[in-house]
Chains A and B, each alone.
Chain A
């Protein structure tokens, strides 16, 4: 399927390049609808792979690339379940999103995230599976999960450790603070900085460049330089599910859902 428009995202294949656009208000949060359509995208991308050189991932919402997991949905779904069943519901979601992100991480074409605005939590984890991150200079990156009594659950820590220095990883994770695009580029998270509103155009220019190379060579280079850390990713799911059973998590989610302050991602 070369093009698709769903409730949470759309994609379009053109001249060897797929553009995958997240588009779900308010900030492209990843919930069950987004996950189902991402799985649909992966199925289509597997079919399109032989004739695809690059995939640009972007967000259409003005607020940003993606604010992460849909915590409101997670809270409301979890509160309906008995406490002993909550972790299993989360595990099922994590297994599915990991399958999507692991495939994208190792996709045989080049993946480029065009990031603007908010790129937090699961949104940053989606960007981290991409080979190249192009960021609008006003973009911000954060892993605020610890405020909920959780760790990032979509592969964030293993992929951050793979790509970046551990000092920055600890700062980002243990403080939950957000960093701007300039800092993100300085530590190697962001590959290319774009002027305001120009990230998508620059991502496409980058995609057009990679179409010039031999597909087999490109895939071999990517496989060599970017191993997928399956064992650590499995461990992350276990730690996340263990933490999720603690009462502090539901309290943290409730606090977030009810927070109307200017920094709801901070504790």
Chain B
């Protein structure tokens, strides 16, 4: 199982790539709703991309209320 730091980095890289941001422009403690300006449909799309990338299922209720990349990575880590 990868370390949490690696998972966090993968989440950041995936978000940067998907939203066409420069590598390194996102940080673990960033609020992704504010930083990426995403709406409910884009949130679902990001959820699908994360699930497909990590080959996991991440139920909506587990990420409800989560807004920073670090906590999101922790939720993913618990499913790896």
Say whether A262 contacts B38, CB under 8 Å: yes
Residue of B nearest to A171 (CB): B59
How many angstroms from the CA of A46 to the CA of B43 in the assembled complex? 40
Known contacts A138-B45, A138-B49, A140-B48; decide if A178 and B60 are in contact (CB<8 Å): yes
Known contacts A137-B52, A180-B51; decide if A266 and B64 are in contact (CB<8 Å): yes
Per the CB 8 Å criterion, the residue count for chain A at the interface is 25
Residue of B nearest to A27 (CB): B41
How far is the CB of B56 from the nearest CB of chain A, in Å? 10
How many angstroms from the CA of A183 to the CA of B48 in the assembled complex? 11
How many angstroms from the CA of A262 to the CA of B33 in the assembled complex? 8
How far is the CB of A252 from the nearest CB of chain B, in Å? 16
B12-43 interface with A by 8 A CB criterion: 33, 38-41, 43
CB of A157 within 8 Å of the partner chain = no
Contacts of B43 in A (CB 8 A): 262-263
A14-72 interface with B by 8 A CB criterion: 27, 63-64
Contact count A vs B, C-beta below 8 Å: 54
Contacts of A140 in B (CB 8 A): 44, 47-48
Say whether B41 contacts A63, CB under 8 Å: yes
Cβ-neighbour of B41 out of A64, A142, A182 (below 8 A):
A64
Q: Mark A165-201, 1 if CB is under 8 A from B, else 0.
A: 0000000000111111111000000000000000000
Say whether B57 contacts A179, CB under 8 Å: yes
Contacts of B57 in A (CB 8 A): 179-180, 183
Contacts of A265 in B (CB 8 A): 40, 60
CB of A261 within 8 Å of the partner chain = yes
How many angstroms from the CA of A176 to the CA of B49 in the assembled complex? 20
Task: List A residues at the B interface (Cβ < 8 Å).
Answer: 27, 63-64, 117-118, 137-140, 142, 175-183, 261-266
